[in-house]
Structure 1
Amino acid sequence: MRSPLVQQELKRAGVWFALAVALGLIVLLAQPILLILGALVLATMMDGGTRLLGRVLPIGRGWRLTIVLLGIVAFIAYTFYLTGSSLAAQAQAMRTIVEAQVARIGGWMQHLGITTTPDDFKSLASQAMSSMGRVTAAVGTAVGVITSLVMMVVLAIFLAVEPKLYERGVAWMLPIDKRAHFYAIADKMGWTLRRLMAGRLIGMTVEGVGVWLFLWIGGVPMAGLLGILTALFAFLPNIGAIISGVLIILVGFSGGTHTGFYAFGVYMVVQIIDGYLIVPMVAKKATDLAPALVLGAQILLGALFGILGLALADPIVAMIKVYLEERSKGLETQNKARIAERMIGGA
């Protein structure tokens, strides 16, 4: 055991063993880790609202955060109190309409000679949903979903109350010479996430209100429910727009051909306004994420971690991008300093 060779090999074996344990823990604790990341995203949104409110109300941070939280709770309660019963009835009717439209599409494809039945569509949908995450057993039931959401919201509130406290706590675990770089990365990540979430919320509002208003004007059935679903699905870039578009078109064509084409036109106009005006002005300048990169991350994280991974794919990619950019800038600065030292030494 005193042999230097044996000690070196034991250190190597210890590194590999620790790496294997760390990977096993990541797989085992994937769901809690994603819940913590989701809480960080929610805390960033709360912090952004608190900062924005601070521009017009010169009061303490705690009071501003309380106003933001009360406003969110009041909006949710007001919405479901006024429209809860009607939305439940519309949701049941929408399910019937979607199933009928899928059956019509299956019959039309059979008429064209394509051997596809409505049962194939249903089985495909069920397979897609069942494959969305192999480590999501903790949130597989309604009770699990509610419990996870409550834990996420509570954790987000604690983080939003005093974010600098937790930031300093992480920094204290790092070497002293690394703390300044950590603070710079943390500030840039916070700024990026605030801009990203601000763009997401504005896009959700514009898409939801726009779809509801234009569908209601055009006489499309269940305009209110479609507006709410469009706003919720807008939180998922790319994939959410596809899901909401399919629902809008299916429900639109249930009211006739003209209504269906009108619903399709409304969907396209709203998506163009959100994709080419709102996102470039608010979020893209802060993150500049390639659409294919975000879609690939959604497919990967959605397959691994389910709906939670799908929802957090965009923020995770944005944080990784910020870390890599800041790390690259730090290495570039160090290289320039070394080159300057060599030039001075050579002179």
Structure 2
Amino acid sequence: MAGDGSKPHVEQPGPAEFHDPLIRREFQRAWVWIGSLLLVAAVILLSQPLLLIVGGLVFAVLLDGGTRLLGRYLPLPRGVRLAIVTLAGFGFLGWVLWYAGTTFAAQFEALRLTVEAQVMRLYAWAASHGLVPEGSSDTVVQQLLGSLGRVTSVVGSAIGAFTSAFLILIIGIFFAVEPKVYDRGVAWMLPMRHRGDYYAILSAVGCTLRRLLFGRLVGMVVEGLFTFGMLWAGGVPMAALLGLLTGILAFIPNLGAITSGVLMVAVGFSAGPDQGLWAIFTYFAVQNIDGYLILPYIARKTVDLAPAVVLAAQLIFGALFGFLGLLLADTIMAALKVTLEQLAERRSPDCLTDPAQAPDPAAAGQAPRRLAEAAARPAPAPGPPHSGPPASP
């Protein structure tokens, strides 16, 4: 205290006081890493709502692509064209569900039983040759049949995923009705100097996804019809159902083709060896058409994604986010690749400098040779001493 003759108490900095610039900078870096980890955790925890939004965006891109395509032939306002495309899409989807429900209702159960029987026969053959242990048949077969059962009931279990599908459709319609409102809303949160790049990247991503989805729809129709025609010509049972499932699963690259191939081969061998061999031939014919005609055309018009990258993304997204992540993996990867390419193009030296002042690559390649010739050239003889006025400093 001041009156007892003792020295006044002086406050000392505590452990929360950081005056060293180095400590402050490292502390800021640590918070950046912590914020990044928290962001990743939030994305994982909120994966389902985020994927519903992404699915709505993909559906909006699909509607926008149809609206733009219709605008080439019908000079109608955008709202009218969007309504026509939306009603036509819902009408076609309703017809497919009604046709599948009324025509294939009994065949779905027959397909499940056929696949189960074929898997049991395959497992019995493998166990008889010592390829798998005898006691693990129940666990392995139940897991395999459970996954196959879920795949074969994609059309029949649409009611179970009605809520998610309804939200995706509503979000997609809202985005497609007024896309510029949401574009300006996101751009408003960006600095003014970055908004031009944002609009350019958004335009490139939208164009790429529109072409990608259009090519995907063409591939689904071609694969479904070709599979139905080939299986029907070869006498394979449930040809129409297998063609429908092949067309639907064609929306999922790699894994969809493998699943549809397993189904048609299993059904083919259930009718006999000739039908089974014909189903194998049909599968390879469909995949060759898709791999050598449809996919190269889509890749040339959109973005060329390596099959291994797409498959790895499907496995990771499927393990983290379920079936919806598996369904949207390739579109998300395509959007990311286009975004990164656009950012790299805008940050390249050619874009950051004036093209008129950029160095000539040919001249730059000839510079070392000119320097070497100048060094090898003999030095000139010294001239008379300079007698002019001294140079000014």
TM-score (norm 1): 0.88
Residue 90 of structure 1, aligned match among 82, 107, 114: 107
**Could you list the per-position Cα deviations for residues 130-180 of structure 1 after superposition, in whole angstroms to 9, with x for gaps in the alignment?**
xxxxxxxxxxx9877221111111000101112122111111111111011
The alignment partner of 2:50 has SS state of helix
User: How far apart, in 2, do the equivalents of 1:221 and 1:340 lie?
Assistant: 68
Which piece of structure 1 moves more, 74-83 or 63-72? Answer: 74-83
**Could you list the per-position Cα deviations for residues 244-279 of structure 1 after superposition, in whole angstroms to 9, with x for gaps in the alignment?**
000000001111000111111111111111111112
**Could you list the per-position Cα deviations for residues 51-81 of structure 1 after superposition, in whole angstroms to 9, with x for gaps in the alignment?**
1111111101111111111111211222333
1:170 to 1:218, Cα distance in 2 relative to 1, 3 A: same
User: How far apart, in 2, do the equivalents of 1:3 and 1:306 lie?
Assistant: 45
Q: Is the 8 A contact 1:199 1:278 kept in 2?
A: yes
Residue 228 of structure 1, aligned match among 226, 244, 250: 244
1:296 to 1:83, Cα distance in 2 relative to 1, 3 A: closer
Q: Is the 8 A contact 1:35 1:148 kept in 2?
A: yes
Q: Which amino acid aligns with 1:305?
A: F
Aligned residue in 1 for 2:138: 119
Question: What stretches of structure 2 of length at least 5 have no aligned partner?
Answer: 1-15, 149-156, 360-393
User: How far apart, in 2, do the equivalents of 1:342 and 1:199 lie?
Assistant: 40
1:177 to 1:5, Cα distance in 2 relative to 1, 3 A: same
Would you say 1:299 and 2:311 are equivalent positions? no
Aligned residue in 2 for 1:258: 274
Q: Is the 8 A contact 1:106 1:116 kept in 2?
A: no
User: How far apart, in 1, do the equivalents of 2:179 and 2:214 lie?
Assistant: 18
User: How far apart, in 1, do the equivalents of 2:288 and 2:133 lie?
Assistant: 33
Aligned residue in 1 for 2:11: none
CA RMSD, Structure 1 to Structure 2 (Å): 2.6
Aligned residue in 2 for 1:63: 80
Aligned residue in 1 for 2:71: 54
Task: State the shift of 1:335 in Å.
Answer: 6.6
User: How far apart, in 1, do the equivalents of 2:285 and 2:358 lie?
Assistant: 59
Aligned residue in 1 for 2:368: none
Would you say 1:160 and 2:176 are equivalent positions? yes
**Highest CA radius of gyration, 1 or 2?**
2
Task: State the shift of 1:319 in Å.
Answer: 1.0
Aligned residue in 1 for 2:386: none
**Could you list the per-position Cα deviations for residues 172-198 of structure 1 after superposition, in whole angstroms to 9, with x for gaps in the alignment?**
111111011111100000011011111
Q: Which amino acid aligns with 2:121?
A: R
More helix by share: 1
Q: Which amino acid aligns with 2:113?
A: T
Among all aligned residue pairs of Structure 1 and Structure 2, give the percentage whose two residues are the same amino acid: 47
Q: Which amino acid aligns with 1:306?
A: G
The alignment partner of 1:147 has SS state of helix
1:21 to 1:305, Cα distance in 2 relative to 1, 3 A: same
Task: State the shift of 1:325 in Å.
Answer: 0.6
Q: Which amino acid aligns with 1:160?
A: A
The alignment partner of 1:323 has SS state of helix
Superposition misfits of 4+ residues, deviation over 6 angstroms: 126-129, 141-144, 338-343
Tell me the matched-pair count: 332
Aligned residue in 1 for 2:202: 186
Task: State the shift of 1:114 in Å.
Answer: 2.2
Task: State the shift of 1:89 in Å.
Answer: 0.5
Q: Is the 8 A contact 1:198 1:283 kept in 2?
A: no
User: How far apart, in 2, do the equivalents of 1:76 and 1:3 lie?
Assistant: 63
